[in-house]
């Protein structure tokens, strides 16, 4: 009897809950493992077994490869490194770690990058490049810049205008004379400014052109930024027209002096220059488009000033006649910028309308 009652009590213990006092912790389980300890460790993300540091060229190539990184911060830091390396090399009169022909193709897509910091750093990189080495890439740079000018993002359009200002500063002649550089770019400006264009023949095309401008819409900060963008577009248009239409008297005088000196040096071959390649850069016959695809008027090359004047008078002048009076009436900084555009057109087309005189051109522009 005694052993059976003892076994019953032991079985009952398994079903009895312990009575806990207030504030007393619950007893730990038999399989409890203490994980409150902390371990100190050193994490090395990158390890190298090489004793020598990587060369400047290899580091430069590595940063170039990071320009397509998904992180905005990484792209901006890579551009900053490339800019610093280029400035250091030029300050020491040393060759660049990589030629410009390799650097520019890697950076073209960043002209309309989604990050404002990346685009601003890209502009610093462009200013650091040697202008002479940028000359063969003006056409591709201008093509990508036009894509940025027509972007839906307002900040991208502003930064693209700054890239165009840089091109007009270092290579104005090549910018307006490359393939698509003159008419295509001017039509782009006419669409951005919302001016009536001569090539929009249908109502739908005119509506699309007007809706592309969208520079004065919005309220508050967006409206102010849109107005600044429109002023910037007008000033850049004036600089572009000046590069394509207005004669630089100092440059003409210098060219005549150089021709006279060459005539003295090459006597009696006074007309040697007329038998030489007229184009500049590595492809002097590019304006003939001997082996390229057929081009239309928009993508044609207008290397001489007279050809640009004829194309402007026939294709672009109707749009300026329609848009300039309204821009001048707005007054303020925008009105002054529009008046500057009008003055450039008068100066650039003065000799083209020599038979009728500048007064008729001024009346056509609504002056």
Q: Which pair of tokens denotes residue 220? A: 């508050």
- Which range is least confidently modeled, 149-153, 220-224, 272-276, 352-356? 352-356
Of 61, 69, 57, 170, the closest CA to residue 118 belongs to: 69
Render pLDDT for 176-197 as a digit per residue (tens, 0 to 9).
Answer: 999 889 999 999 999 999 886 5
- Tell me the mean pLDDT in the region 157-175: 94
Confidence (pTM)? 0.72
Across the range 43-50, mean pLDDT stands at 65
Specify if 167 maps to a domain: no
Q: What pLDDT is stored for residue 284 in this prediction?
A: 65
Q: What is the pLDDT of residues 104-134, one digit of tens each?
A: 999 999 999 999 999 999 999 999 999 999 9
The pLDDT score that the predictor gives to residue 206 is 46
Asked whether residue 342 carries a pLDDT value surpassing 60, the answer given is: yes
Instruction: Return the minimum-mean-pLDDT range out of 73-82, 208-217, 267-276, 294-303.
Output: 208-217
Report the percent of the chain where pLDDT is more than 70: 75
Q: Is 360 within a domain?
A: no
Least confident of 49-53, 92-96, 175-179, 330-334: 49-53
Asked if the model's pLDDT at residue 295 lies above 70, the reply is no
C-alpha span between 66 and 86 (Å, rounded):
17
Q: Which residue bears the tokens 């502003």?
A: 158
Per-residue pLDDT, 102: 94
Beta-carbon contacts of 260 under 8 Å, excluding residues fewer than 6 positions away, are none
| Tokens of residue 195, six digits | 């001016």
- Asked, for residue 326, whether it belongs to a domain, the answer is yes
pLDDT of residue 2: 60
Work out the percent of the chain whose per-residue pLDDT is above 90: 41
User: Using CA atoms, how far apart are residues 10 and 2, in angstroms rounded to an integer?
Assistant: 13
DSSP state of 366: T
Q: Is residue 3 assigned to a domain?
A: no
Query: Where is pLDDT greater, at 336 or 48?
Result: 336
- Residue 241 within a domain: yes
Q: Structural domain tally of the chain?
A: 1
pLDDT, mean over the chain:
81
More confident residue, 21 or 2: 21
Higher pLDDT, 23 or 367: 23
Tell me how far apart the alpha carbons of residues 190 and 320 are, in angstroms, rounded to a whole number: 8
State which of 168-182, 264-278, 339-353 shows the largest mean pLDDT. 168-182
Per-residue pLDDT band at 234 (split at 50, 70, 90): very high
CA dist 52 to 48, 55, 62, 85, 289, Å?
10, 9, 17, 20, 51
Residue 80: inside a domain: no
Boundaries of domain holding 223: 176-354
Residue 100 lies in a domain: no
- Structure confidence at residue 294 (pLDDT): 65
Spatial distance between the Cα atoms of 309 and 316, rounded to a whole number of angstroms: 10
Which tokens go with 227?
Answer: 């107005």
Q: Which residue has the higher pLDDT, 72 or 363?
A: 72
CB 245 within 8 Å of CB 309: yes
Residues 6+ apart with CB under 8 A from 45: none
Residue 148 belongs to a domain: no
């Amino acid at each position: 009897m005694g052993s059976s009652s003892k076994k019953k009590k032991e079985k009952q213990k398994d079903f009895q809950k312990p009575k806990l006092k207030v504030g007393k912790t619950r007893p730990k389980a038999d399989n409890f493992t203490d994980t409150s300890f902390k371990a100190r460790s050193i994490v090395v993300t990158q390890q190298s077994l090489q004793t020598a540091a990587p060369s400047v060229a290899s580091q430069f190539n590595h940063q170039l490869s990071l320009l397509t990184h998904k992180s905005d911060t990484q792209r901006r830091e890579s551009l900053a490194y490339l800019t610093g390396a280029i400035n250091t090399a030029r300050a020491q009169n040393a060759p660049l770690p990589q030629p410009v022909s390799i650097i520019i193709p890697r950076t073209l897509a960043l002209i309309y990058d989604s990050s404002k910091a990346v685009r601003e750093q890209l502009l610093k990189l462009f200013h650091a490049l040697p202008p002479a080495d940028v000359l063969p890439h003006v056409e591709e740079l201008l093509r990508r810049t036009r894509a940025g000018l027509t972007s839906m993002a307002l900040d991208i359009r502003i930064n693209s205008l700054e890239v165009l200002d840089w091109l007009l500063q270092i290579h104005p002649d090549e910018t307006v004379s490359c393939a698509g550089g003159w008419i295509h770019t001017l039509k782009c400006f006419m669409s951005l400014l919302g001016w009536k264009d001569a090539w929009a023949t249908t109502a739908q095309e005119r509506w699309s052109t007007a809706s592309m401008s969208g520079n004065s819409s919005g309220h508050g900060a967006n409206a102010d930024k849109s107005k600044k963008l429109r002023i910037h577009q007008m000033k850049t248009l004036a600089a572009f027209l000046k590069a394509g239409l207005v004669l630089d008297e100092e440059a003409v005088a210098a060219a005549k002096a150089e021709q006279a000196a060459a005539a003295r040096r090459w006597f009696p071959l006074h007309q040697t220059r007329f038998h030489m390649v007229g184009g500049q850069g590595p492809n002097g016959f590019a304006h003939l488009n001997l082996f390229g695809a057929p081009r239309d008027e928009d993508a044609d090359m207008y290397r001489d000033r007279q050809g640009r004047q004829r194309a402007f008078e026939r294709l672009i002048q109707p749009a300026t006649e329609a848009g300039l009076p309204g821009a001048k009436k707005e007054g303020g900084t925008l009105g002054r910028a529009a008046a500057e555009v009008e003055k450039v057109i008068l100066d650039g087309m003065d000799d083209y309308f020599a038979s009728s005189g500048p007064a008729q051109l001024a009346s056509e522009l609504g002056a």
